[in-house]
Structure 1
Amino acid sequence: MLENLEVLPPDPILGLIAAFAQDDNPEKIDLGVGVYQDDSGRTPVMQAVLDAEARLLETEGSKSYLPPAGTAAFNTGVQQLLLGDDCSNRYGGRLASIQTPGGCGALRIGAEVIQRSSAGNRVWVSDPTWANHLPLLGGAGLTFETYPYYDLAGHRLDFDGMMACLQQAQAGDVVLLHGCCHNPSGADLSLEQWRAVTDLALQKAFTPFVDVAYQGLGAGLEEDAAGWRWMAERVPEMFIASSCSKNFGLYRERTGALVLLAETEQAAAAGKSQALNAARQIYSMPPSHGALAAGLILQEPALRDAWQSELEQMRNRIVQMREALVEQLGDDFAFIRDEFGMFSFLGIAPEQVTHLREKFGIYMVDSTRINLAGLNSDNLEYFVAAMRSL
């Protein structure tokens, strides 16, 4: 059986990780992998997470299975983080959530629920979008349309093109939106633009599916949430995929949640039951450790304050790297200052990407997306010199 299969090429980003590890250039820089790094180039465990884990070590008495929906405290905390502390009062039984193995699990289970719905299975995704969106959603049987989002030549959000294209969306379609810190472009919708997309969703009767992977790393925890909260208060139905990989640093713990907002309590209960059934068929129940730690942080005021302070320091470091890079590269790269989160496109030619990798040991994906958190006070000057040599 296995001899009938062909060997698939490695994932482009994972392939970069392997190539970077084998490079013996002492000044090499990894701008490809999508993880936060501090100014020393480390991806540390957040202190709030360490403190929460210490408490869990003292109190955890069992490693028995979690319920299929996961940890209740975590689910409640994520709902409040996404939709505000009063979301239970505002939405009541219209709101449902399940813990998932990371944001990937949330996207896939959301796609499974959509596929089971009689409303249809067409989803609109931004061009460009995160590379794994298509296989995650497509693996559930969804079909795709794309809408313009980022003008690479003009280094700007193509909002007019996006809105014109989404005029073609139909009732029952799903539109995938990046909640904040758009990956790969860093170009985010303003609150005014979120309002316009909300109006269009109501007009066309499509369902928004918001992927929230970077809350707190854009303009701030509350600021980042303003757009999708506005939308949630007005649309009858909405899916949200939430990840704790970036803002809690829980990458390998696979900690996420799928939040469903339905038009009625009955619809929310049905959606949750379908999500749980899909989860049972794919992974049965989610891992516990990361969700227990994140849930404790979100529910305990002192831990939450400490976590928010750390997260704000991370956000500020990325902003400082954007400012420093623009200051040294000049006005041709001023657009980087106006973008949000870890990623931006450099917009250089493919052969220049290859040149940076082969001559300088500077690694980025072929699209020219770079992770600003891969830059620091020790390697920024080297990176700028390499860019100036192009």
Structure 2
Amino acid sequence: MFETLAAAPPDPILSLIGLFRDDPRPGKIDLGIGVYRDAAGHTPILRTVREAERRLYESETTKTYVGPAGDPAFCAAVAGLVFGEAHPGDRLRAVQTPGGAGALRVLAGLIARSRPGVTVWVPDPTWVNHISILADAGLPVRPHPYFDPATGGVRVDAMLDALRGAAPGDVVLLHGCCHNPTGASLTAADWDAVCDVITSRNLFPFVDLAYQGFGDGLEEDAYAVRLFARRLPEMVVAVSCSKNFGIYRERTGAAFVLATDAARAAVAHSQLVVVARITYSMPPDHGGAIVRIILADPSLTADWKAELAAMRGYVVGHREALAEAFRRRTNTDRFDFLTTHRGMFSLLGTTPEQAARLRAEHAVYIVADGRINLAGLRDDQIEPFVAAVAAVCG
């Protein structure tokens, strides 16, 4: 049965987990896997999550299935968080999913059912799993310019020019905020221009909103989604609750479909449920229940927003401290782009060979493409990390 199979290549991000764990060297630094860590290097459980779990434990009476579409109350709560006052009402439908990746996969499956073989434009670079998910759904991918390694910014004009050359009906995959892996994000004015091109070329937006609240704030990070909801007839949105609620292992997300009218939204939703049923049957409910409880209680919501703001501020502080440490060490401003990036990640500009040397010679673990997780860096690791990068990169 398996004699024709070749070994799968190691995942460039997840493979670092085992390598780091088995490294016996003291002072090793893990900036690979994308999780938030506090000053002690620990990924904490938020106090609001603890309280929601306590309430759930006391009130839950069954472990029966929630159904392929998941919990409607959870979907409604996340819809309010994402769409805000731009909530498009009956034109919007959702299913609860196993994390943001689950949302991406069922939405890719829905697109493949709706328009088999349609081209999906993705930023260069993009999250590595985007390519795998789209390929698994049978959707061809075409890259468009995005990141400028020379400036650490977005090649907005080149991106817009490329999308102007897309065929009507093509799909455009967009990072709603906090671009992964680069950290270079579009401004509100940039999003306005992107929306203009999508409208003029009759393109279909597929938004991945994985880090709402980790960039500039909950409202600010939802700008693109809300803009599209106001101006465009159709789109799909994949949402993750992993980062902003800190419930990574609970695999909690939602897939949203916006259609031209309520009737088409209902049809699209029925097909989305079929894809979900085929893919994983039913979503896990524990994480969704946590989110629902938090968002249903104004006091818990306010406390959760405060916790999220503290995590965001911690990462921003590390960006500033890291850029300053690089200025002192290199006597240049070549790493100042770190302060303009948003979210957990940045592309440092190292080569795969330099990333390998950082791991082998300095016990510093970063992804081969140079992505670093700022949320995984402790205060006492900033100077050793900068020294290691300077030693390897010159």
- TM-score, normalised by the number of residues in structure 1: 0.97
Q: 1:208 — aligned with what?
A: 205
Q: 2:390 — aligned with what?
A: 388
2:166 aligned counterpart, secondary structure: coil
Q: Is 1:253 aligned with 2:250?
A: yes
Q: 1:78 — aligned with what?
A: 78
Q: Which amino acid aligns with 1:57?
A: Y
Q: 1:342 — aligned with what?
A: 344
2-structure distance, mates of 1:354, 1:172? 42
Q: Is 1:284 aligned with 2:286?
A: no
Matches within 5 A, 1:64-75: 64-75=64-75
2-structure distance, mates of 1:264, 1:151? 39
1-structure distance, mates of 2:115, 2:239? 25
Residues 127-149 of structure 1: CA distance to partner in whole angstroms, max 9, x if unpaired? 00000001112111111111000
Does the C-alpha gap of structure 1 residues 251 and 335 become closer, same or farther in structure 2, counting only changes over 3 Å? Answer: same
Q: 1:194 — aligned with what?
A: 191
Matches within 5 A, 1:1-390: 1-85=1-85, 87=87, 91-118=88-115, 121-330=118-327, 331-390=333-392
1:13 aligned counterpart, secondary structure: coil
Q: Is the 8 A contact 1:195 1:231 kept in 2?
A: no
**More displaced, 333-342 or 223-232?**
223-232
Q: CA deviation at 1:119?
A: 7.5
Q: CA deviation at 1:388?
A: 2.7
1:280 aligned counterpart, secondary structure: helix
1-structure distance, mates of 2:89, 2:379? 48
1-structure distance, mates of 2:167, 2:177? 25
- TM-score, normalised by the number of residues in structure 2: 0.96
**More displaced, 76-85 or 350-359?**
350-359
Does the C-alpha gap of structure 1 residues 212 and 86 become closer, same or farther in structure 2, counting only changes over 3 Å? Answer: closer
1:304 aligned counterpart, secondary structure: helix
Residues 79-101 of structure 1: CA distance to partner in whole angstroms, max 9, x if unpaired? 011100562xxx22101111011
1:96 aligned counterpart, secondary structure: strand
Q: CA deviation at 1:290?
A: 0.3
2-structure distance, mates of 1:280, 1:43? 32
Q: CA deviation at 1:228?
A: 2.1
Q: Which amino acid aligns with 1:335?
A: F
Q: CA deviation at 1:7?
A: 1.9
Q: Is the 8 A contact 2:108 2:134 kept in 1?
A: yes
Q: CA deviation at 1:4?
A: 2.9
Q: Which amino acid aligns with 1:68?
A: P
Does the C-alpha gap of structure 1 residues 195 and 264 become closer, same or farther in structure 2, counting only changes over 3 Å? Answer: same
2-structure distance, mates of 1:144, 1:211? 16
2:281 aligned counterpart, secondary structure: coil
Q: Which amino acid aligns with 1:3?
A: E
Q: Which amino acid aligns with 1:10?
A: P
- % identical equivalent positions: 51
Give the count of matched residue pairs.
387
